Amino acid sequence: MIKGVIEQHKTAPQSALIGKLNPIIRGWSNYYSAVVSTETFNKLG
């Protein structure tokens, strides 16, 4: 998915590419944060 966005915006300004990638990366981080939190708390308990 990220590779496709980068390829589609090869000639675009850097700010445009960052604008397209930010929501994707933010979404992945929010999705996986629960998994990482669960694993961390399991190690503590």
pLDDT attached to residue 7: 95
Residue 35: its pLDDT value, please?
Answer: 78
Q: Tell me what pLDDT residue 45 has.
A: 66
| pTM beyond 0.75 | no
The rounded average pLDDT for each run of 10 residues, N- to C-terminus, in the chain (45 residues) is: 93 96 94 81 79
* Structure tokens that stand for 18 in this block: 């960052």
Give Cα separations from 17 to 3, 27, 28, 42, 45 (angstroms): 11, 16, 17, 37, 42
The beta-strand segments (E) located in the chain are: none
